[in-house]
Chain A
Amino acid sequence: MKTFFNDLYKKANKGPWPLIITVGLMVIGSITVYQSPRSLGAFLTLMLCPMMIYFLKINTKVKIFMGLLLAIVIIPVLGIRNIFYLEVIFQMAVFAALALGLNIVIGMAGLLDLGYVAFYAVGAYSWAIFGSKQLSLLHSIPGAAPAGAEFSLSPSYFWLFLFLGVGLAALAGILLGLPVLRLRGDYLAIVTLGFGEVIRVLALNLDKPINLTNGPQGITPIQRPPLPPGFILEPIRSLLTPIVGHVPTDAEFYNVFFYLLALVVILIAIAVATRLEDSRIGRAWAAIREDETAAIAMGIPLVRMKLAAFAAGASFAGCMGVLYAANRTFVSPETFSFLQSIGVLTMVILGGLGSIPGVIFGAGAVVILNIQVLQNFSLYLSALRQSDAVIPIINFAWKDLSNQLDPAKYQKLVFGIILVVMMIFRPEGLIPAERRKRELVEDKE
Chain B
Amino acid sequence: MKQFTSNPFYKFILFPIGQMLVFILGASLALSLFIILLAFLFRSNVTDFDLVERTLLILPQVLINGITIGFVYATIALGYTMVYGVLEFINFSHSEIFMVGGIVGVELMAYFDHTGALQTMNQYVVIGLAILLGMVISGSLAVTIERIAYKPLRGAPRLVPLISAIGMSFFLQDAVRLILSLTTGEFNVILPNFGTFDEFLILAVPGIENPLRFQIKSILLVGVTVIMLVGLNYLVNGTKVGKAIRAVAQDRPSASLMGINVNLIISITFLIGGALGGAAGVLFAIKATRLDPFVGFFPGLKAFTAAVLGGIGNLTGALLGGLILGLLESFGASYLSIFTNGAFGAEYKDILAFAILIIVLIIRPSGLLGQTVAQKA
Give me the interface of A with B, judged by CB distance under 8 Å.
Answer: 110, 112, 114, 179-180, 182-187, 189-191, 193-195, 197-198, 201-202, 204-205, 208-209, 338, 342, 345, 349, 402-405, 410-413, 415-420, 423-424, 427
Q: Which residue of A lies closest to B345 (CB)?
A: A205
Whether the pair B158, A186 counts as a contact (CB closer than 8 A) is yes
Contacts of B362 in A (CB 8 A): 179-180, 182
Contacts of A110 in B (CB 8 A): 159
Whether the pair A345, B169 counts as a contact (CB closer than 8 A) is no
Give me the interface of B with A, judged by CB distance under 8 Å.
Answer: 89-90, 148-149, 152-153, 156, 158-164, 166-175, 177-178, 181-182, 185-187, 297, 301, 304, 308, 342-344, 347-348, 350-351, 353-355, 357-358, 361-362, 365, 375
Contacts of A114 in B (CB 8 A): 166
**What number of A-B contacts does a CB cutoff of 8 Å give?**
133
Whether the pair A405, B182 counts as a contact (CB closer than 8 A) is yes
Whether the pair B170, A342 counts as a contact (CB closer than 8 A) is yes
Contacts of B172 in A (CB 8 A): 416
Interface centre among A190, A191, A410, A420 (most CB of B within 10 A): A420
Q: What is the CA–CA distance of A255 and B171 in the complex, to the nearest angstrom?
A: 34
CB distance from B295 to the nearest CB of A (A): 14
- State the main secondary structure of chain A at its contact with B: helix
- State the main secondary structure of chain B at its contact with A: helix
Whether the pair B354, A424 counts as a contact (CB closer than 8 A) is no
Instruction: Point out the residue from A184, A190, A208, A413 that lies within 8 Å of B357, measured CB to CB.
Output: A190
Whether the pair A189, B181 counts as a contact (CB closer than 8 A) is no
Whether the pair B178, A419 counts as a contact (CB closer than 8 A) is no
Interface centre among B153, B156, B163, B174 (most CB of A within 10 A): B163
Whether the pair B164, A424 counts as a contact (CB closer than 8 A) is yes
With A114-B166, A424-B153 known as contacts, the answer to whether A410 contacts B357 (CB < 8 A) is no
With A180-B358, A183-B361, A194-B354 known as contacts, the answer to whether A412 contacts B166 (CB < 8 A) is no
A-B contact pairs, 19 of them (CB 8 A): A112-B159, A112-B162, A179-B358, A189-B90, A189-B159, A190-B357, A197-B354, A345-B163, A402-B181, A404-B181, A405-B181, A413-B170, A413-B174, A413-B178, A416-B174, A419-B167, A419-B170, A420-B168, A424-B152
With A209-B343, A416-B169, A419-B166 known as contacts, the answer to whether A201 contacts B350 (CB < 8 A) is yes
Whether the pair A417, B361 counts as a contact (CB closer than 8 A) is no
With A112-B162, A197-B354 known as contacts, the answer to whether A184 contacts B375 (CB < 8 A) is yes
Q: What is the CA–CA distance of A293 and B301 in the complex, to the nearest angstrom?
A: 30
Contacts of B375 in A (CB 8 A): 184
Q: What is the CA–CA distance of A418 and B163 in the complex, to the nearest angstrom?
A: 11
Contacts of A419 in B (CB 8 A): 163-164, 166-168, 170
Contacts of A427 in B (CB 8 A): 156, 160
Q: What is the CA–CA distance of A418 and B166 in the complex, to the nearest angstrom?
A: 11
CB distance from A412 to the nearest CB of B (A): 4
Whether the pair A186, B354 counts as a contact (CB closer than 8 A) is no
